[in-house]
Amino acid sequence: MNAPDRFTLFVLDEGEAPVEVNEDTKIPNAATIKILKQDHTLGNMLRAQLLSMPQVLFAGYKVPHPLHPYFLLKIQTDGSIAPDLLLSEACNQLIGTLASLEGKFKREFAFKEADGAGLGATGVGGAGHGGAAFATSDDPYGTGAGTGGTASWGNRDDYLDF
């Protein structure tokens, strides 16, 4: 009844900002960034990308509670760039890597399809489903006897409830 919609776990509310940046008051060049409606998929990837950047002194993320759909990303830089700018730089790098990967997938798939072996020969699911072994029969236990099979109740007209 009063359960929230399940999609509120991954869809931003009306007018909700996806990112909140809170600059740290005690540590220089540090910020805690709250990213809403995202989880480990993005958090861990960003953390790893940030750690690969030379300007970063610290980068870590946590999902404070599994039922709260956001994560916190803590970044400290060496002072040459603000943490939030560095984060957007990390995002751009990841977008670049993904674009490169997408191009490679396209090329490989095109290559495999041109190769001919791709779809035609390997066929499409189906045949591999166990065919005859799983085929329906009127004899579910494969004995033909014992349980009485189907013939024994065949012509009774009770249970006709439509």
Name the residues that contact another protein, by CB under 8 A.
Answer: 5-7, 9-11, 18-19, 35, 38, 40-42, 44-45, 47-49, 52, 91, 93-102, 104-106, 108-109, 112, 118-119, 122-127, 129-131, 134-136, 138, 140, 150-151, 153-155, 157, 159-162
Supply angle C-alpha 16, 17, 20, rounded to 5: 135
Residue 40 beta carbon to another protein: minimum distance, rounded to whole angstroms = 7
CB 47 within 8 A of CB 58: no
Q: Which is nearer to another protein, 28 or 100 (CB)?
A: 100
Q: Which is nearer to another protein, 28 or 88 (CB)?
A: 88
Residue 28 beta carbon to another protein: minimum distance, rounded to whole angstroms = 25
Q: Which is nearer to another protein, 27 or 95 (CB)?
A: 95
Q: Which is nearer to another protein, 27 or 112 (CB)?
A: 112
CA distances from 100 to 75, 87, 91, 97, 126 (A): 26, 20, 14, 5, 34
Query: Which residues 6+ apart lie within 8 Å of 75 measured at CB?
Result: 30, 31, 33, 50, 56, 58, 59, 83, 86, 87
